[in-house]
């Protein structure tokens, strides 16, 4: 029986983090009100001329550097012509034969655990189209659709990989890493749900060992990396079925349907458009010299791979712990702020990837920063280490600050979280417990060591959890010794 192997290439669109649009001064800020961030330029009105936003070029170069690309000293823009109401000019300004970046790569791990280089063919700059708001749920059932041009001419980069990926897992890994790199590089917001990062999948199957590629499908409408994975698994099965049954496959664009968990054909190559690409006459060529590249490279912060290595080398963290931190830039940056103030990296990490992450995930809104100042967090960990509060109280203080704000020292005082570390106060409670639990006390005297744990628990109960358990244990042992 023929065995097939899967060939996958990914195409990403990332919205660039600029203040204004690519060819006009309109703001890029999000608005629920349609058609307010518009002007004759981004409406494609006759006579309006484009002026390329310098920051767009800088961010595209930054992305290229972060993704190990060769930055092209000379690139230019082209018109891609098609007619659709979301594209008022009748063409999209993009880059076809001479993109700004070429030949990059990202390293991933294949299913055998080996490092694998996935090549990036190109990154080019282009403008986004507007959006159609349908009167009904979808275009098919709607009586009318209204165009919103707020998104028209927002700056994008398109990142195209070589067909180097061979499974849903590899594709997910690549996509997650790409997203993280763009996020650390501060090139894009990379929010898939909000559309600032979009991913299309190209997939084909071929008999194992065959050199030529099989017929490919292009999958669009993928709103999460999970959808990317599911769509690939679905297409793998569909292609296998077609090939095994000798059914013809067509090169076509298909749409992922999240609810149905399947793809459906959107258009085939026969009705593929001829975009009549030609050079954009109104935007001059983009010249990027070495000095400018150096300047942009200097803006690049530490990227995920370098950070992973540093966390392990400098702090002795495990690969797993470092990866957990790096996967969330908020946590990674916070780690850098906290460790100079409280220098037990492993303790800080456990708190960050444990309680802090849990609290972050429990909030409805995504936070821009961690809502407890690094100094306050370090103070809390220091108090815990000193035994001035116990672990349970420390967690509660953290939760209160997350939900309501406040300073840890005040919360500890107000809530009475300070541990009883006064041996005189504790001795009373200890005497009490020994008297009340004569059985357990005798067990301990007769060498049953577990009885001590029980007695410590009873003292903790009696002091409503406020006692310092280490001190209680010590005092109990002393009291038996001195009998």
Asked if 160 interacts with ligand ADP (CB under 6 A), we say yes
Does 216 engage in binding with ligand ADP (CB under 6 A)?
yes
41 binds, among Zn ion, ligand ADP, none (CB under 5 to 8 A by kind): Zn ion
Write out the binding residues for ligand ADP, residues 358-387 only, by CB under 6 A.
none
344 counts as binding ligand ADP under rule CB under 6 A: no
Closer to ligand ADP by CB, 21 or 124: give it: 124
Stretch of 3-11, 340-348, 349-357, 371-379 contacting ligand ADP, by CB under 6 A? 3-11
11 sits near ligand ADP (criterion: CB under 6 A):
yes
Q: Is 408 one of the binding residues for ligand ADP (CB under 6 A)? A: no
Q: Chain-centre distance of CA 50, in angstroms?
A: 33
Binding-site size, ligand ADP (CB under 6 A):
14
Among 50, 99, 130, 163, binds ligand ADP (CB under 6 A): 163
Which of 192/283 has CB closer to Zn ion? 283
Give the CA dihedral 164, 170, 176, 179, nearest 10 degrees: 0
- The answer to whether 152 and 129 have CB atoms below 8 angstroms apart is yes
Q: Which residues of 43-52 are buried (b: 16+ CB within 10 A; e: fewer)?
A: bbeeeeebeb
Tokens 């849990």 belong to: 358
Minimal distance, residue 389 CB to ligand ADP, in Å = 54
Tell me the C-alpha to C-alpha distance, in Å, between residue 227 and each of 171, 173, 203, 207.
11, 13, 14, 26
Q: Which two tokens stand for residue 116?
A: 């694998």
Task: Report the distance separating Cα 231 and Cα 260, nearest Å.
Answer: 11
- Residue among 212 and 260 whose Cβ is closer to ligand ADP: 212
Q: Which does 384 bind (CB under 5 to 8 A by kind): Zn ion, ligand ADP, none?
A: none
DSSP state of 258: T
User: Cβ distance 4 to 240 under 8 Å?
Assistant: yes
9 binds ligand ADP (CB under 6 A): yes
Q: Are 204 and 4 in contact (CB under 8 A)?
A: no
Q: Rule CB under 6 A: say whether 7 interacts with ligand ADP.
A: yes
372 with 401: CB under 8 angstroms?
Answer: yes
* Number of other CB atoms surrounding residue 340 within 10 Å: 9
Q: Which stretch binds ligand ADP (CB under 6 A): 199-207, 347-355, 421-429, 473-481?
A: 199-207
Residues that bind ligand ADP (CB under 6 A): 7-11, 160-163, 202-204, 213, 216
């Amino acid at each position: 029986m023929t065995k097939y192997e899967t060939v996958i290439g990914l195409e990403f669109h990332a919205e660039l983090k600029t203040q204004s649009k690519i060819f006009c001064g309109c703001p890029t800020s999000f608005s629920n009100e349609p058609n307010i961030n518009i002007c004759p330029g981004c409406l494609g009105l006759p006579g309006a001329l484009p002026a390329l936003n310098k920051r767009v070029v800088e961010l595209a170069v930054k992305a290229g550097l972060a993704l190990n690309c060769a930055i092209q000293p000379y690139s230019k823009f082209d018109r891609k012509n098609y007619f659709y109401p979301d594209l008022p000019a009748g063409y999209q300004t993009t880059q076809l034969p001479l993109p700004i970046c070429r030949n990059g790569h990202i390293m991933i791990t294949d299913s055998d655990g080996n490092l694998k280089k996935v090549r990036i063919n190109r990154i080019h700059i282009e403008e986004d189209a507007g959006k159609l708001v349908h009167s009904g749920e979808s275009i098919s059932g709607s009586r009318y659709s209204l165009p919103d041009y707020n998104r028209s001419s927002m700056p994008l980069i398109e990142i195209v990989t070589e067909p180097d990926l061979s499974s849903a897992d590899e594709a997910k890994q690549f996509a997650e890493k790409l997203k993280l790199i763009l996020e650390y590089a501060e090139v894009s917001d990379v929010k898939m749900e909000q559309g600032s990062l979009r991913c299309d999948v190209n997939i084909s199957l071929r008999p194992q060992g065959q050199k030529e590629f099989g017929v490919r499908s292009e999958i669009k409408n993928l709103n999460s990396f999970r959808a990317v994975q599911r769509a690939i698994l679905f297409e793998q099965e569909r292609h296998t079925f077609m090939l095994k049954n000798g059914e013809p496959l067509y090169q076509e664009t298909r749409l992922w349907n999240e609810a149905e968990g399947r793809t459906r054909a959107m258009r085939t190559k026969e009705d593929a458009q001829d975009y009549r690409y030609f050079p954009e006459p109104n935007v001059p060529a983009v010249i990027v010299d070495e000095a400018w590249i150096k300047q942009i490279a200097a803006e690049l912060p530490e990227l995920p791979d370098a950070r992973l290595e540093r966390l392990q080398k400098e702090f002795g963290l495990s690969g797993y712990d470092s990866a957990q931190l790096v996967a969330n830039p908020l946590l990674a940056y916070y780690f850098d702020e906290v460790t100079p103030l409280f220098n037990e990296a492993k303790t800080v990490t456990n708190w960050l990837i444990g309680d802090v992450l849990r609290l972050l995930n429990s909030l409805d809104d995504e936070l821009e920063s961690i809502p407890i100042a690094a100094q306050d967090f370090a103070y809390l960990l220091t108090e815990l280490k000193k035994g001035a509060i116990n672990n349970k109280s420390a967690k509660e203080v953290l939760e209160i600050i997350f939900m309501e704000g406040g300073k840890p020292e005040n919360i500890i005082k107000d809530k009475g979280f300070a541990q009883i570390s006064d041996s005189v106060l504790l001795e009373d409670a200890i005497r009490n417990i020994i008297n009340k639990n004569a059985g357990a006390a005798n067990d301990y005297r007769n060498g049953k060591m577990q009885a001590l744990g029980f007695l410590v628990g009873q003292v903790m109960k009696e002091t409503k959890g406020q006692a310092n358990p280490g001190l209680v244990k010590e005092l109990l042992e002393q009291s038996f010794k001195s009998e």
